[in-house]
Chain A
Amino acid sequence: MGVIGYGLGVIGAGIGIGLAAYGYTTATARQPEMQGALFTGFILGSAFVEALALIGFVVALIVK
């Protein structure tokens, strides 16, 4: 059950990181000089999203 729960939780995080990377690459393609500032935002955004997936991972391990 825990594995299925983790899989379900990761769907959202996967979509989220995908969207963040999509936004980052398209924005960099349009304005390459903004790359540094955009990268900061991208890393911050993916850190927020990734934390959710990782909480799912740890909960799946702990709750049997």
Chain B
Amino acid sequence: MEELFDQLPDKVDELIDSFLSIPIVGDLNVGFTQYDFWLAVAIVVLLVLMFTFIKKQSRSLVPEGRFVNGMEFVVEYTRKNMVQDIVGPTWREHFPFIATVFFFVLVNNIIGVIPGCHPGTGCIGVTAALALVSFIYFIVMGVRKHGVGGYLKTFSHGLKGPMGPAIWLVEVFSTFLRLITLAVRLFCNLFAGHIVMGTFAILTSLFATQLAQGISLMAFGSAGISLLWLAILIIIYVVELLVAAIQAFVFAMLSAVYVQIAEEEE
């Protein structure tokens, strides 16, 4: 039993190495890595879902069937809980952007739960790009609302005297920190989830393959333990499905909160 656990660190190292970007075509500078491939798959899935939904929905005024009803539920939930409640009166113009971000991240995350897939959001480059898009979006919205000078002034929250510049500096710093936290939160959640799932999958296979080396009492014992690892793996799998949805929700909602902060009146 001990020697099985001794094999684990090497196998986990191998697993972590498989999460590095490996180019399929070209090299790392100009090329197409496995993350790009799954990103493209996610986009195709999203487009197929969208066009099927539009086609099926336009057939009748009353939504019919599970698919149309389910999609309408998700879209309405996004609209009510993530945009209307948070952004406020100007929600109508921000809904397309926030919904796009939400569905993009959601489809990517859910593809990541399928074993063997390397979703785009499991790669720091993609989440950083998404965070940058969201960052630029709320800054542009703030500038459009207040003007450049007015937007810069909102960071000091209307404080006068010596406290004004100090608070302004802290607020500007925390605004730039949002860029990092948005990217790192999504990436770390997905990456950590994949590593944990992979570790338990490795444990399951290590213990189960003892049977292949010869039938003995010991082998049956370790196969029994592998069932335990499998049970834990299934539980973690369900948790990861939840995390995939929650992280997409959090990413889109934080984008909405930042837009609301950028647009709020003093």
Q: In the complex, what distance in Å separates the CA atom of A51 from the CA atom of B191?
A: 12
Interface: B85 (CB within 8 A): yes
Interface: A61 (CB within 8 A): yes
| Contact of B85 (CB < 8 Å), options: A37, A44, A57, A61 | A37
Is there contact, CB below 8 Å, between B250 and A55?
Answer: no
Taking CB atoms, residues of chain B closer than 8 Å to A43 are 246, 249-250, 253
Q: In the complex, what distance in Å separates the CA atom of A55 from the CA atom of B257?
A: 23
Is there contact, CB below 8 Å, between A36 and B81?
Answer: yes
Taking CB atoms, residues of chain A closer than 8 Å to B185 are 47, 50-51, 54
A44 touching B254 in the complex, CB below 8 Å, given contacts A36-B81, A51-B181, A61-B195 = yes
| Contact of B188 (CB < 8 Å), options: A36, A37, A44, A55 | A55
**B-side interface residues, number (CB < 8 Å):** 19
Proximity bits, A5-23, B CB within 8 Å = 1, else 0: 0000000000000000000
Q: In the complex, what distance in Å separates the CA atom of A37 from the CA atom of B253?
A: 13
**A-side interface residues, number (CB < 8 Å):** 13
Chain A minimum-CB-distance residue to B181:
A51
Taking CB atoms, residues of chain A closer than 8 Å to B257 are 44
Q: In the complex, what distance in Å separates the CA atom of A36 from the CA atom of B82?
A: 11
Q: In the complex, what distance in Å separates the CA atom of A44 from the CA atom of B16?
A: 29
- Listed in ascending order, the chain B residues whose CB lies under 8 Å from chain A are 16, 81, 85-86, 181, 184-185, 188-189, 191-192, 195, 246-247, 249-250, 253-254, 257
